[in-house]
Amino acid sequence: HNVTPRTMSLVTTSPSDLLSHFLSSHPYRTLLDLVLVTFILYIIFKKPYNPNKDKDKPTEEEINELCKEWKPEPLVPLDTQPFPKREYTASAPGPTITVGNQIALNFATFNFLGLSHDAKILEKCKGVIDHYGVGSCGPRGFYGSQKTHIDLEKKCFEFFGTEDCILYSYGFATVSSVIPAFCKRTDLIIVDEGCSYPIQHGAELSRATVKRFRHNDMEDLERILKEITTGHMKKLQTKQRRYIITQGIFENTGDLARLKRIVELKHKYKIRLMVDDSFGAGVLGKTGRGIIEHCGCEPSDVDILVINLENALGGVGGVCLGSQAMVRHQRLMGLAFTFSASLPPYTSAAAVFSLESIEESPQRMDTLRDNIRVTHRMLTEQLHPRLRLDTALNSPIFHLRMADGARRTTPGSEDQIVADEAAFQIFERIASRCLERGLAVSVPKYSKKEWMPVEPSLRLTVSSEHSHDQISRGGEILREIVDEVFDSVSPTKSF
């Protein structure tokens, strides 16, 4: 009923007339539509391009000839230097050690209390082997948990004064797994740049934002804490988990964390604290409870405590201690716990026996502290003018480094790399000659993935089993070899 005369005329008009009318009214629109329709039809019906269509396929003989001529590139760069001799030990790591066929004074291993070969512990482990065998053959969540594992976790949280404990099967993987279990991409980690590679690796696996403060520099740490609690960073405080991570005794430098001050900053800025006390447990503190006891702090001051059992405790694996909620979280989120076979039962039993031995025989730690003082005094008095000593007075780890190599150039620069390589070769010569003379010391090798290049060093360790005569004899051998090596090096050469 609403049809207009214009509409009626269009309905009765023929298609050809409509097309002519549309072309005359909208010529450019019509042209564009035709181009688009043509392009779409071209794309639909276009045959796929075959680059080999016009090429002749090689014959069987040509293929065989090409294969004969092909020389694949090596998977790894060819090293023109001879492959270094692989040393092996043929005895327990006591005050002396057999390296190959050479018996030497042992100043190279981390058996600080001599527990790895204690006669009483070995005898108890034999009984555990008779009962459980030598392997668990399963992860903790799938019938790999045995009573010795539960006993060790219970002993650890009772000994170190925490609520609960979780046992990992590999020392390196403990802290590398604990960090990503709690820190994710949106979180923040503030870590001492002097921390060892397992902590660095864990921080990278977490994918969290990482801020590094200068080694043991509390002013620099507080500067970062102020930055993240003011301005736009303050708004993220309720949404972002934040951790300070440090070590008790730093493996790469031998010095101690300033834990008392770190705890003060933790409470002041309301941030969580994680401590790796792998080298302090069994060494520091009146009763061997590590850096927390040594600094007069409380176990509750540290939210997450990680300890490698492979040093002073003479065992295998590692533990993480803290609240029950923190431990329960790791039983699903700690990848090294969930997907690794559990420890051989006798090794976890050995760690229990080691902790009992520390409680029953505190004189081990007294002897160790005395040996640390004797060794520190000896190295200081006999120090070659071209060397410096890096360590703390309470640390059983001693690093001898080049006196003029204290990072005069930018770390990682070409000049510094050359200087570090020259220093490393010097220390390798010293260690090799020391072994020939009956003294085992080590030259640490560091990953190229370290956050900052670690200055080369000659590393010595001391244990409670060393006698003063053995320490004195080791010092004499070291002094003689160092003098010989530096006498053969140009005195004007810097490192």
pLDDT band at 7 (very low <50, low <70, confident <90, very high): low
| Per-residue pLDDT, 493 | 53
Transcribe 279-317 into DSSP letters: TTTTTSSTTS--HHHHTT--GGG-SEEEEETTSTT--SS
| Per-residue pLDDT, 285 | 92
Closest CA to 401 of 471, 325, 495: 495
- Would you say residue 55 has pLDDT above 70? no
**197 contacts 278 by C-beta, under 8 angstroms:** no
**461 contacts 396 by C-beta, under 8 angstroms:** yes
The one-letter code for the residue type at 289 is R
Through-space distance between the first and last CA atoms of the chain, rounded to whole angstroms: 103
Percent of the chain with pLDDT over 70: 87
Closest CA to 149 of 338, 350, 360, 303: 350
**275 contacts 307 by C-beta, under 8 angstroms:** no
Model pTM score: 0.80
Q: What is the mean pLDDT of the chain?
A: 87
| Per-residue pLDDT, 76 | 74
For 337-353, what is each residue's pLDDT tens digit? 988 889 999 999 999 99
d(CA 333, CA 74): 39
**353 contacts 113 by C-beta, under 8 angstroms:** no
| Per-residue pLDDT, 37 | 86
d(CA 330, CA 334): 4
d(CA 462, CA 445): 20
For 244-280, what is each residue's pLDDT tens digit? 999 999 999 999 999 999 999 999 999 999 999 999 9
Poorest-pLDDT segment among 6-10, 231-235, 359-363: 6-10
CA-to-CA separations, 101 to 111, 278, 352, in angstroms, rounded: 21, 31, 33
**282 contacts 353 by C-beta, under 8 angstroms:** no
Backbone angles phi, psi at 127, to 5 degrees: -65, -35
For 288-337, what is each residue's pLDDT tens digit? 999 999 999 999 999 999 999 999 998 899 999 999 999 999 998 998 99
**373 contacts 393 by C-beta, under 8 angstroms:** yes
